[in-house]
Amino acid sequence: MDRENGDGDIEGGGADDGGFRSSIGRKYRPVLANDRAVLEMSSIDQGSSSSASAFPDQNPNLRKVNTSVNGSSDAKEENLSHEQKPNGSRQQESKLELFGFDSLVNILGLKSMTGEHVTQPSSPRDGEDISITAGLPKPAAPKLGTLMGVFIPCIQSILGIIYYIRFSWIVGMAGIGETLLLVSLCGTCTFLTSISLSAIATNGAMKGGGPYYLIGRALGPEVGVSIGLCFFLGNAVAGALYVLGAVETFLKAVPSAGIFRETVTQVNGTAIAQPIESPSSHDLQIYGIVLTILLCFIVFGGVKMINRVAPAFLIPVLFSVVCIFLGIFLAGKDHPSEGITGLSSETFKENWSADYQKTNDAGIPETDGSVTWNFNSLVGLFFPAVTGIMAGSNRSSSLRDTQQSIPVGTLAATLTTTSLYLVSLMLFGAVATREKLLTDRLLTATIAWPFPSLIKIGIILSTMGAALQSLTGAPRLLAAIANDDILPILNYFKVGDGGEPHVATFFTAFLCIGCVVIGNLDLITPTVTMFFLLCYTGVNLSCFLLDLLDAPSWRPRWKFHHWSLSLVGALLCIVIMFLISWSFTVVSLLLASLIYKYVSIKGKAGDWGDGFKSAYFQLALRSLRSLGASQVHPKNWYPIPLVFCRPWGKLPENVPCHPKLADFANCMKKKGRGMSIFVSILDGDYHECAEDAKTACKQLSTYIDYKNCEGVAEIVVAPNMSEGFRGIIQTMGLGNLKPNIVVMRYPEIWRRENLIEIPATFVGIINDCIVANKAVVIVKGLDEWPNEYQRQYGTIDLYWIVRDGGLMLLLSQLLLTKESFENCKIQVFCIAEEDADAEGLKADVKKFLYDLRMQAEVFVITMKWDAQMDGGGSPAQDESMDAFTSAQQRIDDYLTQMKATAKREGTPLMADGKPVVVNEKQVEKFLYTTLKLNSTILRYSRMAAVVLVSLPPPPVSHPAYFYMEYMDLLLEKIPRILIVRGYRRDVVTLFT
């Protein structure tokens, strides 16, 4: 047949050998676009084209800067052409162009040299390339220092409602000794978390999202989103905690403001029972909802209004603390209240031990109270008093120097507040009786001097400020999670650059109001505790993982950290969670796990360079080193197919590989375990085709993912397919993880399309595999190969001719593990010489299969290979004879043409560019051998689901054309067959 354009599918044709371009106009049977196996393939996203070159002269988006002699830079914008000019023809527009770069101003983003602003990059998305040019954060004004940016916000968030209206009550319930243990435990937890936070925060620039950003970039998007959403819920619920604290304090200070009657409780354990009034739960709900709405209006006013209002809440807090300490030292000297003893060692001794009592819902002791208290429950009540250490990291975008301010400010605030709690518990335990500590919920206002009423105002303003911080930070945290575009369901909460998260604020206010309706402060605090502890655990685990792996990118400026401290901090957080409530702990972990699973299923892929990827990498390296370079034991042998994607035909557009090739590769894995390497070869020069190779590799990777095949894609650029495959077979893989089986499609089109270049290429590939000691599996009938939903019935027939290390037997067993072949049975046909002991061979094979735990029926077929086959035999023989006669005639014609060419040119017989020696009797013997084997297969296995036969090696010094004729005759009329050649290693073993 006349071949029009030299056929781009053949070696040296210059076409893309990966199946992306092929010859047009052929009459062979292609894989049609409407084939059932490829109907959905055309919709696959081929992926964006490869990223722009790192060199500015290849990237039109970069700017060139002319540098003068005196060092000043004159920035000039210029659009560069997309086409490359020949070397030496480009105009020299920069003195640094010799080095392949433009200017350090653009490469490193040094804006101060030119006054230009570089846009801050967004978070890495799926497949997006982030270069070093986007390494510096966008400047924003005004910038805050350590004091106002970190220390004061942390103090304001930590020192809140628990200290003012619950801490003295905790001292009375747990006693000074256990309260000291309680504060030390919680303070140590937050201190270790602050160290971990300092290390991570100083390992690079931070963006919005606070701890979510840190955890997500360290532990991956799934863990980051799950813990981030829990931390968001914790902040939203904490807002309700502070609102209820402010309302309760207000109603205590102004009882006449209550709408409903207050609850009166008789105090037990005192000499004279006195009525104690507590606000009505309905008043708490009504005023709490109103206050939440008012705070939301402030939040809607934007960041500027929040920054103006929030500092006003700080001065009353500091003033109230001073008044409390003054009142403690002056207590008992001037008009002392009942139960206030002043600083007394006797009172200190009486309050040292714990006295846990039952209380009502308001915390007032009652004999038959509904609430039972112990040390564990007090941990849950007190822990929110030490939260707030993330307030500084949440403001990272407003800090002048995050890598200095966050560690110093956070640790200073943690140590300051912990010291304040330790000193206060000593003073509270020495200044009032236990009855006073348990019954006076506003003891801090009672003992304050000189203005107790101002203390109540300070408590209200401080709690309102903390609530404002929660209602401000929670929506921005939710918006940051949504903007990372990991979870599609959160798209409603996205905000543009510089925008306010109004929708997220509405949602946060809704959650806050729901918690306010509950109206019980002591029931809300354990919930907040769990979410904050879960976040702290994530921060500690992030630092532990990063510090333990010690990747080259892990270079935090904060040096006072160690992985052991982070591990202790994480374990301490988990211990505190279980101390508080194992049921709440299980629920919170289950919630985080459900979010993690949902994100892993529904979320979009995001590569943030997290620590798990580094852990996988180091684990892979360690495993690779442990495997060594020695032979793999047959018990540990796994097939690692090198799937050669040469289509040997035309494929539909957008289909980079035969759609059934991945289905077959999956059949070689047991329960999906194993890895496949899909390779293709792109003809051409590497420097010219490098970008095309990247695009083709992305296309092939998309195909692999679509077919749910565990594997990787590789595209190799080479002058021709033979050289490319020879390089692949030598270098692909590492150590014992090198591919051990080469899988490819049989080129059925070569003869009917008269593609005489295919035999030399195909035979060369087989010879390369033999030299490299790789097993070979060649698939004929790939178009009809079943997918996972097409069940097959019948038999899997093995024509076992030569020793192959058990590869053919193992492949048949692997096929049985797939749903499509699980209903089939295995038949083993042993081909032996005519004078062999058939019964003895059958018994030996049966015993061998029994020891291998393989179920199969064994047949022994004896034949005399040298004798010619006479016509008039079985129908199978007659069919084979027709093919034999045609093959014999074509070989004779090819040999006659070779001899004529050699005689005309005065050279020896040449084929495939090298001299050959043709023994015509040997050629005839090979033809008869394949003829007999083909007729045998047609006789016994015409209805088999799949046939496996040993691959004969290409005869030495025979033309590749002859070998292809042998193979065609062997495979004639067999619809689906695997030609298998093992290698010099056993892949099965008889022993345990």
- Let me know whether 904 and 799 are in one domain: yes
Same domain flag for 781 and 800: no
**Cis before 60 (ω within 30):** no
Of 759, 785, 811, which residue is a domain's last? Answer: 785
> What pLDDT does residue 865 have?
59
Say if residue 771 is in the same domain as residue 822: no
pTM above 0.85, yes or no: no
Phi-psi region of 332 (alpha: psi -120 to 50; beta: other; left: phi over 0): left
Q: How many CA atoms lie within 13 A of 203 on its CB side?
A: 25
Reported residue count of the chain is: 992
Same domain, yes or no, for 395 and 251? yes
Predicted pLDDT of residue 46:
41
Q: Quick one: pLDDT at residue 989?
A: 64
779 plus 805 within the same structural domain:
no
Q: Residue 172 domain-assigned?
A: yes
First to last CA, the chain: 57
Q: What does the block give as tokens for 92?
A: 């020299």
Cα(194)–Cα(182) distance, integer angstroms: 18
215 and 254 share one domain: yes
Q: How far is CA 360 from CA 28, 210, 278, 357, 519, in A?
A: 88, 38, 11, 10, 14
Residue 619 Rama label (left phi>0; alpha psi -120 to 50; beta): alpha
Where does a domain end: 737, 758, 785?
785
DSSP designation for 399: B
In a domain, 499, yes or no: yes
Amino acid at 759: P
**Cα–Cα distance, 864 to 860 (Å, whole number):** 13
Does residue 832 share a domain with residue 753? no
26 within domain boundaries: no
Q: Write the DSSP symbol of residue 697.
A: H
Residue ranges of the chain with per-residue pLDDT less than 50 = 1-31, 33, 36-141, 268-272, 869-872, 992
Residues 384, 414, single domain; the answer is yes
Does residue 740 share a domain with residue 825?
no
442 within some domain: yes
Q: How far apart are CA 216 and CA 227, in angstroms?
A: 9
Q: 197 and 310 in one domain?
A: yes
429 domain-assigned: yes
Q: What letter would DSSP give residue 427?
A: H
The range of the structural domain enclosing residue 716 comes to 630-785
557 shares its domain with 690: no
Ramachandran angles phi, psi of 399, nearest 5°: -90, 145
Strands 741-745 and 775-780: parallel
Tell me, yes or no, whether 43 lies in a domain: no
CA atoms within 13 Å, Cβ hemisphere of 869: 29
Indicate if 768 and 900 belong to the same structural domain.
Answer: no
Contact yes or no for 684/655 (Cβ under 8 A):
no
Domain boundary among 715, 750, 785: 785
Question: What's CA 911's distance to the chain center, in Å?
Answer: 53
pLDDT of 568 reads: 96
CA angle 59, 64, 70 (to 5 degrees): 155
Give the rounded distance of the alpha carbon of 366 from its chain centre: 53
Taking the C-alpha atoms of residue 399 and residue 210, their distance in angstroms, rounded to an integer, is: 13
For position 617, what pLDDT does the model report?
A: 74
Q: What distance lies between CA 420 and its chain's CA centroid?
A: 43
Report the alpha-carbon distance of residue 856 to residue 858 in Å, rounded: 6
Asked if residue 215 is part of any domain, the answer here is: yes
Residue 34 confidence (pLDDT): 52
pLDDT at 636: 64
Domain membership of residue 97 (yes or no) is no
Indicate the number of domains in the chain: 3
**What CATH number did the domain enclosing 592 receive?**
1.20.1740.10
CATH classification of the domain holding 697? 3.40.50.620
Instruction: Centre a 10 Å sphere on the Cβ of residue 497 and count the other Cβ atoms it contains.
Output: 9
